[in-house]
Amino acid sequence: MKVATLDDVRRLVDKHLPAEYRSKFAWRKLAALLRRAAQGKDEAAEVSTALQIILKVERVPFQV
């Protein structure tokens, strides 16, 4: 799955991330960062960096 926009990240998390991951602290923080970026309060690049780090650390098994 190609993730190019903030909405792509939102859909990735909402539709493809297993529920047991969404409740974890790191993913809740990513969701908050994503909301702030969508509101123009944070940079989209921060979301990208955070997503890459969390995916590597959590080793999330995505099924897209």
Q: What is the pLDDT of residue 59?
A: 84
Please classify residue 62 by burial: count the beta carbons closer than 10 Å to its beta carbon, then call 0-12 exposed, 13-18 middle and 19+ buried: exposed
- Per-residue pLDDT, 64: 46
- Look over the chain and give the mean of its residue pLDDT values, rounded to a whole number: 86
pTM of the model: 0.78
pLDDT per residue as tens digits for the range 23-50 = 899 999 999 999 999 999 999 999 989 9
pLDDT value, residue 30? 92
